[in-house]
Amino acid sequence: REVKPHAGDTIGCLAAMGLVRLVLSLLASLPPPEGIGQTSKATGPASAPKLEAHIPKELKSDVVYPNKVPWAGYRVDLIAILGNACFNRERVCEDIASLGGVPIVLNHTRGQDDEPYLRE
């Protein structure tokens, strides 16, 4: 069932026009933050596996998105857009899940050591 955004719901309108797909594509084009997959300090046969970037087929397109972080806080800004869009909008949450965005979002929620917005 398609839920149409009500008048005045700018985020709902943007989500209906493809905001979720765009932001997930921007996140998917970035490499995982440094340290992802290398968090285990264990040695021996049980060390942490390397994580590989996986882009769902729903997010693949001919458009080329940046594959480097253009400015400090870029990942934070993209995750904030998705987080704010999800608030009280079940349809946006469903779109993220149906586009295969949950692993992408989780992969990019670990902060980098040089991230200026992260504090103790």
CA dist 92 and 102 (Å) reads 12
Q: Is residue 28 part of a domain?
A: no
Q: Is residue 74 part of a domain?
A: yes
Q: How many angstroms separate the Cα of 14 from the Cα of each of 3, 21, 57, 88?
A: 13, 11, 22, 15
pLDDT in tens, 15-33: 888 899 999 999 988 887 7
Q: Is residue 39 part of a domain?
A: no
Q: Is residue 30 part of a domain?
A: no
For tokens 């980098």, what's the residue? Answer: 112
Q: How many domains does the chain have?
A: 1
pLDDT at 119 over 70: no
Q: Is residue 7 part of a domain?
A: no
Q: Which domain holds residue 87?
A: 53-111
Sequence-ordered alpha helix ranges (H) in 1-118: 10-16, 19-29, 74-86, 90-98, 101-107
Q: Is residue 4 part of a domain?
A: no
Going by pLDDT thresholds of 50, 70 and 90, the confidence category of residue 104 is confident
- Predicted confidence at residue 112, as pLDDT, reads 60
Q: Is residue 33 part of a domain?
A: no
Q: Is residue 42 part of a domain?
A: no
* CB of 85 closer than 8 Å to CB of 92: yes
Q: What is the DSSP letter of 110?
A: S
